[in-house]
Amino acid sequence: MKSSRPIPFQKKRKLRASQLERVYAALRKTFGPQNWWPGKTSFEVMVGAILTQNTAWINVEKAIRNLRQARKLSFRALRRISRKELARLIRPAGYFNVKADRLKCFADFLARECRGDLSTLKRQGMPKLRQKLLGVKGIGPETADSILVYALGKPSFVIDAYTRRIFSKHGLARGSENYERWREIFTRALPRNLGLYNDFHAQIVRVGKEYCRKIPCCAGCPLSRFF
């Protein structure tokens, strides 16, 4: 007969950077490949990366739909459209004045850098290309890394709110680290591989949406066995 002794208190284990590949494997096994980014073309991915700043993806989809219906989802159209009209079309994504300005700045950058020819941009190397993107007004580190991985095919790990929330909660970092420090933790622990960077971030968003919106979470979470 089993003893009815109370279960002893277990100190929460800290996740180590060296476990990150196993964390990824567990997520991948649970959810399958995520096939990111949700976008038809590289250009659409880049527009989406700017529109999704601090915004639910469902609202971004509405804005992108508006752009597509108005035939403004191209480099040339983005160069020609007025800020006012652009803001009207992307209104559902929120911060529409700010984002209209950011999209125009980005279009200016593409014109300067490659005349809108993304294949030219894709030939540029890292980390110089990342530095150039960070120099564009309205493109911070997360947006730059999203563009690099999902639109330009460059291995640059993306850190977002889900990554910080999930991994600081489980002790990989304190949570107060800046973006570059977070990125360094993942980059050092993982092999430099575009496919891995692409899908790992997508998996983090997936598990974050399904299990980590509320704190405490983890009931049924595929990551719970690591902690």
Partner DNA sequence: GCCCAGGTGGGTA
Partner DNA sequence: TACCCACATGGG
Which is closer to DNA, CB of 22 or CB of 213?
A: 213
Q: Where are the alpha helices (DSSP H) in 20-123?
A: 20-31, 42-51, 57-69, 75-80, 83-89, 96-114, 118-122
Which is closer to DNA, CB of 162 or CB of 167?
A: 162
Instruction: Work out how close the CB of 111 gets to DNA at its nearest, in angstroms, rounded to a whole number.
Output: 18
Instruction: Work out how close the CB of 224 gets to DNA at its nearest, in angstroms, rounded to a whole number.
Output: 19
Enter the tokens of residue 223: 């990551």
Which is closer to DNA, CB of 90 or CB of 121?
A: 90
Residues 6+ apart with CB under 8 A from 117: none
For DNA, the binding residues (CB under 7 A) are 36-38, 48-49, 52-59, 62, 91-92, 94-99, 136-144, 146, 150, 160-162, 165, 176, 178-179, 205, 208-209, 213
Cβ proximity of 26 and 226 under 8 Å: yes
Complete DSSP assignment for 5-27: PPPPP-PPPPP-GGGHHHHHHHH
Which is closer to DNA, CB of 13 or CB of 97?
A: 97
Phi first, then psi, for residue 167 (nearest 5°) are -85, -20
Instruction: Work out how close the CB of 189 gets to DNA at its nearest, in angstroms, rounded to a whole number.
Output: 21
How many angstroms separate the CA atoms of 214 and 167, rounded? 14
Instruction: Work out how close the CB of 146 gets to DNA at its nearest, in angstroms, rounded to a whole number.
Output: 5
Instruction: Work out how close the CB of 71 gets to DNA at its nearest, in angstroms, rounded to a whole number.
Output: 21
Which is closer to DNA, CB of 175 or CB of 193?
A: 175
